[in-house]
Amino acid sequence: MAKRVKVQPAQKGEAIVDYEEKVFPEYEAKPGERALFLIHTVPYEGSVGAVNLLTAMRTKRKGYDVSIIFYGPGSSIPVYRGWPKIGEDGYGIGIQGLPNLVERLIAQGVKIYACRFSASALQGHREDDFIAGVKLIHPTDILDLVIEHHRAGALIFNTWTV
């Protein structure tokens, strides 16, 4: 029988990795630099939506002009929701997490777009269901939004989950 290696269990408040070491320089945006986040993910089925929103927030804080487009199932992220009432988190499970991040991003000047097709035809959302400040766009605008950012030399983050 193999000998079992025993270690002390980690205690609350201890770090199990070196979280202070930074390998790369802390880059900042140059004047006029842009970033675009394309988010096509199922809300609340994984961390992709939240990670993209947090990365967009950090990108904005670095000085980039940031835009986000929610499309496909991702168009359900920037809508008002809650239980038992809109804005409430009935069981404390975090259903307000993504909408709260969207509202924070809008307050920081991030431009938020959502696809009208996926919002209405696929998800059943009405325009009035969207958080104030979210601009709904035609599905053919998505490619033009990407082209605009590509031509501007923007950072483009494209995430798909299905």
pTM of the model: 0.89
In this structure, which amino acid lies at residue 143? Answer: L
Q: With 80 as the cut, is the pLDDT of residue 79 above it?
A: yes
Order of strands across the sheet that contains 65-70: 134-137, 111-115, 65-70, 34-40, 155-160
**pLDDT over 90 at 1, yes or no:** no
In sequence order, which residues have a C-beta less than 8 Å from that of residue 90 and are 6 or more positions away?
82, 83, 84
> Is the per-residue pLDDT at 90 higher than 90?
no
pLDDT in tens, 106-130: 999 999 999 999 999 999 999 999 9
DSSP state of 89: B
Residues forming beta bridges with residue 40, ordered by sequence position: 160
Q: What confidence score (pLDDT) does residue 92 get? A: 79
Per the CB < 8 A criterion, the answer to whether 65 and 36 are in contact is no
Question: If you average pLDDT over every residue of the chain, what do you get?
Answer: 94
Q: Which domains does the chain have, with CATH numbers?
A: 42-160 (3.40.1260.10)
Q: How confident is the model at residue 91, as a pLDDT?
A: 84
User: What pLDDT does 46 receive?
Assistant: 82
